């Protein structure tokens, strides 16, 4: 699991000067960086600035060692070639950051518990279907936090048609998410009563494991937000937090439009603390709180979806 600093996309820091200590890239290094950045953009929409070349080469260095490759040129030849499919996936894992925590930006979970869950609970109890999506779930803390909030208010939830889909592009991090085993010091992010109820001591010393009750609500699957979404049915809440910052603005806008296509009316969309929906680009999501939006499709003729110029 990588906890390295995020690689910001261009719009995140338009005025940042390049770090003074970074030596200039040779022509070969620049071509290698460009190839890696191009693949990262094609595969996962990651947008990486040349100023981050040192970070990129450091992360690639770990892949070279793992593969026993002599240099970056050989690595680039591999990921550009027909046998590079698996390694392109590993490259994306190496370049993304998986930083997350339990109850991160807790106001979203409070909003969900107070404003969204009561209606969903009534629907589920009446035999309806409820679907929630943690759309870049990293090592799973977001999805498990959501499951805790649900089970506190609706302890029988797993007996009804209520499920959390938790997805990420990074297969390795999903393995950790599915296991639900965390270092015990992370337990400090969880209130003691919740910890006692929803976590068990794990086999490993100084580790805790999400209880089966939590795990039973969640399906972890690999999904690249840039690819096809095979899910059918609509979502009643989407947590897509702290991933759009890695995408350029055009990609962010397309993603928001795609979310509109899979939300049920009244669904909540939660974004990360530095992520926004440009109000000029859609009328279908209305901001109802800090980085909290409600999907209310605009049914006036010609007014639904993105605004026209
Ligand atoms: C910083 S973590 C955010 C985790 C969690 N949502 C949170 O806010 O705490 C970003 C996650 O986005 C994932 N990611 C990056 N690009 C992605 C893509 N194109 N599709 C799906 N997930 C992606 C990364 O693998 C990483 O686990």
CA atoms within 13 A on the CB side of 303: 9
Bridge-based pairing state of the strands 292-295 and 263-271: antiparallel
pLDDT in tens, 150-184: 999 999 999 999 999 999 999 999 999 999 999 99
Of all atoms in ligand 1, which is nearest to the CA of residue 138?
A: 27
Q: Are residues 190 and 281 in the same domain?
A: yes
Tell me if 303 is assigned to some domain: no
Q: What is the CATH number of the domain that holds 47?
A: 1.10.155.10
CA–CA dist 236, 294 (Å, integer):
10
Q: Are residues 139 and 270 in the same domain?
A: yes
Q: Is 59 a catalytic residue?
A: yes
CA–CA dist 212, 205 (Å, integer):
19
The pair of three-digit structure tokens given for residue 204, joined into one six-digit string = 């490993």
Q: Are residues 193 and 55 in the same domain?
A: no
* pLDDT for 22: 63
Tell me if 300 is assigned to some domain: no
Residue whose token pair is 């890239």 = 25
Residue whose token pair is 């460009």 = 34
Give the distance, in angstroms, between the CA of residue 2 and the centroid of all CA atoms in the same chain: 14
CA–CA dist 302, 297 (Å, integer):
12
| Ligand 1 contact via 169 beta carbon (within 6 Å) | yes
Q: Are residues 227 and 119 in the same domain?
A: yes
Q: Are residues 39 and 172 in the same domain?
A: no
Tell me if 4 is assigned to some domain: no
CB 286 within 8 A of CB 293: yes
Average of pLDDT values for 199-224? 93
The pair of three-digit structure tokens given for residue 9, joined into one six-digit string = 């996309």
Tell me if 307 is assigned to some domain: no
| Ligand 1 contact via 272 beta carbon (within 6 Å) | yes
* pLDDT for 278: 86
Tell me if 179 is assigned to some domain: yes
The pair of three-digit structure tokens given for residue 195, joined into one six-digit string = 């910890």
Average pLDDT along the chain: 90
Closest CA to 117 of 289, 267, 296: 267
Tell me if 139 is assigned to some domain: yes
Residue 195 has pLDDT above 70, yes or no: yes
CA–CA dist 47, 137 (Å, integer):
20
Q: For residue 241, how far is its CA from the centre of ligand 1 (angstroms)?
A: 8
Q: Are residues 170 and 280 in the same domain?
A: yes
Domain's final residue, options 67, 95, 123: 95
Domain's final residue, options 65, 95, 125: 95
- Full residue range of the structural domain in which residue 27 is found: 10-95
CB 178 within 8 A of CB 138: no
| Ligand 1 contact via 189 beta carbon (within 6 Å) | no
Q: Are residues 229 and 284 in the same domain?
A: yes
The pTM of the full predicted model, rounded to 2 decimals, is 0.89
Closest CA to 32 of 2, 64, 94, 74: 74
CB 148 within 8 A of CB 141: no
Give how many domains the chain has, as a whole number.
Answer: 2
Domain's final residue, options 76, 95, 114: 95
pLDDT in tens, 236-247: 999 999 999 999
CA–CA dist 109, 146 (Å, integer):
7
Q: Are residues 149 and 91 in the same domain?
A: no
Tell me if 306 is assigned to some domain: no
Q: Are residues 14 and 76 in the same domain?
A: yes
Q: What is the CATH number of the domain that holds 136?
A: 3.40.50.150
In three-state secondary structure terms, 51 is: helix
Q: Are residues 273 and 229 in the same domain?
A: yes
* pLDDT for 245: 94
Q: Are residues 89 and 210 in the same domain?
A: no
CA–CA dist 95, 5 (Å, integer):
10
Q: Are residues 150 and 288 in the same domain?
A: yes
Of all atoms in ligand 1, which is nearest to the CA of residue 170?
A: 25
Alpha carbon of 4 to those of 95, 100, 302: distances in Å?
9, 12, 45
Tell me if 40 is assigned to some domain: yes
Q: For residue 179, how far is its CA from the centre of ligand 1 (angstroms)?
A: 18
Quick one: DSSP state of residue 100? -
Which residues are 286's β-sheet partners?
294
Average of pLDDT values for 248-275? 96
């Amino acid at each position: 699991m990588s906890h390295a600093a995020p690689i910001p996309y261009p719009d995140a820091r338009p005025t940042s000067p390049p770090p003074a200590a970074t030596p200039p890239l040779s022509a070969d290094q620049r071509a290698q960086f460009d190839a890696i950045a191009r693949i990262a953009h094609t595969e996962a929409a990651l947008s990486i600035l040349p100023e981050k070349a040192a970070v990129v080469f450091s992360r690639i260095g770990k892949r070279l060692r793992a593969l026993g490759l002599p240099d970056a040129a050989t690595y680039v030849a591999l990921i550009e070639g027909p046998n590079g499919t698996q390694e392109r996936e590993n490259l994306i894992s190496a370049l993304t950051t998986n930083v997350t925590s339990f109850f991160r930006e807790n106001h979203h979970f409070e909003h969900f518990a107070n404003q969204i869950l009561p209606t969903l609970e009534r629907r589920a109890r009446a035999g309806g279907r409820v679907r929630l999506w943690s759309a870049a779930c990293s090592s799973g803390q977001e999805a498990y936090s959501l499951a805790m909030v649900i089970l506190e208010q609706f302890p029988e939830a797993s007996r009804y048609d209520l499920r959390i889909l938790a997805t990420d592009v990074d297969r390795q991090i999903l393995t950790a998410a599915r296991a639900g085993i965390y270092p015990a010091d992370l337990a400090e992010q969880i209130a003691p009563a919740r910890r006692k109820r929803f976590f068990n001591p794990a086999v490993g010393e100084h580790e805790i494991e999400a209880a089966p009750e939590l795990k039973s609500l969640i399906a972890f699957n690999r999904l690249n937000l840039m690819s096809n979404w095979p899910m059918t049915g609509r979502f009643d809440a989407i947590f897509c937090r702290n991933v759009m910052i890695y995408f350029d603005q055009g990609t962010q806008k397309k993603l928001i439009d795609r979310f509109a296509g899979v939300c049920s009316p009244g669904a909540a969309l939660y974004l990360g603390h530095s992520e926004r929906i440009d109000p000029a680009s859609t009328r279908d999501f209305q901001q109802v709180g800090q980085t909290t939006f409600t999907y209310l499709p605009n049914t006036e003729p010609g007014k639904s979806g993105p605004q026209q110029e």
